[in-house]
């Protein structure tokens, strides 16, 4: 009943010699951000896109357990193949690596996200969930975001300044588990001050649900909230960089251990 054989399909990509670049996002394959990213990377390498069929914002590192996904091949040219998957961004990564590709990509780029993934947003973000999953699997991974939620946002500053960064990662990076969280401020080219290596700012989303009523009189609740930056004056943080027209580049950890706290909890034993 179950058919497990697979991995037959993607022969075009493996016969080519340029870098193989895997692309996903959390806004869905049809969003402007991923379309602009695809255009930018096509001259650099051969591109496989496996992206959600619909928007998957806020899906973090979620995977589909107890439910199935569907997949559709949307385009299959020599240098560009596009699939959509009705799952999360991390599902897309697992589909690309487990079912489509026969070799490891040289780079994963997740984005370009419509909206910020700085500070603790890195934990809620489907964009960064996919980037972390790539890095788990030994693929240097970059999450790219623009602090503009507009579906028709202007990505020209991101494109211009992330393209050389992507080339540098391809040529100079030695860390197979590299995971970069890169956010661009919503500024013009003349206002933009450049990339800046940063740490994640400490902060918290203060959130609650807004109550509404459905057409049948039932109560429904929509999540809303505001981000509170706990250290607005810390110039080594991503939030400070964004506020000052820089694009923060934060290397992301794949280990959830709080090593400092390890020393403090001996009273538990």
125 phi and psi angles, rounded to 5 deg: -75, 130
Quote the CA–CA distance of 204 and 163 in Å, as a whole number. 31
Q: First vs last Cα of the chain: how many Å apart? A: 49
Q: How far is the CB of 121 from a second copy (least distance, A)?
A: 10
- Contacts for 185-193 with beta carbons within 8 Å, 24 or more apart? 185/147, 185/242, 185/243, 185/245, 185/246, 185/247, 186/146, 186/147, 186/148, 186/153, 187/157, 187/245, 188/157, 189/156, 189/157, 189/160, 191/245, 192/157, 192/161, 192/245, 192/247, 193/244, 193/245, 193/246
- Of 30 and 79, CB closest to a second copy: 30
Q: How many residues in the shown chain lie near a second copy by CB under 8 A?
A: 88
6 touching a second copy, by CB under 8 A = yes
What mask of x and - would describe binding to a second copy in positions 54 to 93, judged by CB under 8 A? Answer: -x-xxxxxxxxxx-xxxx------------------xx--
Give the sign of the dihedral formed by CA 239, CA 241, CA 246, CA 247. Answer: negative
List binders of a second copy among 230-249 (CB under 8 A). Answer: 249
CB atoms within 10 A of CB 161: 16
- Of 42 and 205, CB closest to a second copy: 205
Pick the piece of the chain touching a second copy (CB under 8 A) from 14-22, 44-52, 184-192, 197-205. Answer: 197-205
226 touching a second copy, by CB under 8 A = no
114 touching a second copy, by CB under 8 A = no
Q: Which of 8, 17, 222, 226 binds a second copy (CB under 8 A)?
A: 222
180 touching a second copy, by CB under 8 A = yes
Q: How far is the CB of 12 from a second copy (least distance, A)?
A: 20
225 touching a second copy, by CB under 8 A = yes
Q: Which of 74, 197, 235, 244 binds a second copy (CB under 8 A)?
A: 197
Quote the CA–CA distance of 186 and 118 in Å, as a whole number. 13
- Of 63 and 79, CB closest to a second copy: 63
Q: How far is the CB of 183 from a second copy (least distance, A)?
A: 13
168 touching a second copy, by CB under 8 A = yes
Quote the CA–CA distance of 218 and 122 in Å, as a whole number. 34
Contacts of 15 (CB under 8 A, 6+ apart): none
What mask of x and - would describe binding to a second copy in positions 20 to 49, judged by CB under 8 A? Answer: ------------------------------
């Amino acid at each position: 009943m179950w058919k497990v054989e697979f991995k037959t399909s993607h022969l075009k990509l493996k016969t080519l010699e340029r870098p193989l670049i895997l692309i996903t996002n959390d806004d869905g394959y049809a969003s402007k951000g991923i379309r602009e990213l695809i255009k930018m990377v096509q001259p650099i390498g051969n591109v496989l896109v496996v992206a959600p069929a619909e928007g998957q914002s806020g899906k973090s590192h979620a995977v589909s357990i107890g439910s199935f996904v569907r997949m559709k091949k949307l385009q299959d040219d020599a240098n560009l193949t596009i699939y959509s998957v009705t799952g999360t961004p991390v599902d897309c990564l697992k589909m690309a690596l487990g079912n489509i590709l026969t070799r490891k990509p040289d780079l994963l780029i997740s984005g370009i996200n419509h909206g910020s993934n700085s500070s603790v947003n890195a934990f809620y973000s489907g964009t960064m969930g996919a980037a972390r999953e790539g890095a788990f699997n030994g693929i240097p991974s970059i999450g790219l975001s623009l602090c503009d939620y507009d579906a028709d946002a202007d990505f020209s500053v991101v494109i211009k300044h992330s393209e050389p960064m992507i080339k540098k990662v391809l040529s100079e990076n030695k860390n197979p588990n590299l995971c970069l969280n890169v956010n661009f401020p919503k500024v013009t080219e003349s206002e933009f001050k450049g990339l800046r290596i940063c740490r994640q700012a400490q902060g918290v989303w203060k959130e609650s649900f807004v109550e509404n009523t459905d057409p049948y009189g039932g109560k429904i609740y929509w999540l809303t909230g505001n981000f509170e930056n706990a250290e607005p004056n810390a110039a080594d943080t991503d939030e400070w960089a964004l506020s000052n027209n820089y694009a923060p580049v934060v290397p992301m950890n794949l280990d959830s251990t709080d090593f400092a706290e390890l020393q403090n909890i001996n009273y538990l034993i």
